[in-house]
Structure 1
Amino acid sequence: MTRPGRTHTTEVVYRLYETVDELTTVIENARSVPMSSSCMVPRDHVLDLLDDLRESLPEDVQAAGAIVEQRTEILQQAQAEAERLTTQTREEAERLLEAARRQRDEVLGAARRQRDEVLAQAQADTEQLLLEAESEAEVLLADGRHRREAMIAEALGEHERLITETEVYRTAVDRADELGARAHADAARMRAEVDEYVDTRLADFGTALERMLRSVEKARTTLRE
Structure 2
Amino acid sequence: MPDQTTAEEKLARLRELVLNARAMPMSASCVVNRGEVLAAIDEVIDGLPDEISDAQRVIDRSQAKIAEGEAESQRLLAQAKDEAQKLARDSQIVKVAEEQAAKIKADAEAEAAALRKETDLFIDSRMASFESVLHKTSSQVRTARSRLAERSNLDPADRAKAAAPGA
TM-score, structure 2 normalization: 0.36
Determine which structure has the larger helix proportion and give its number. Answer: 1
Structure possessing the higher relative contact order (Cα contacts under 8 Å, 6 or more residues apart):
2
Q: TM-score, normalised by structure 1?
A: 0.27
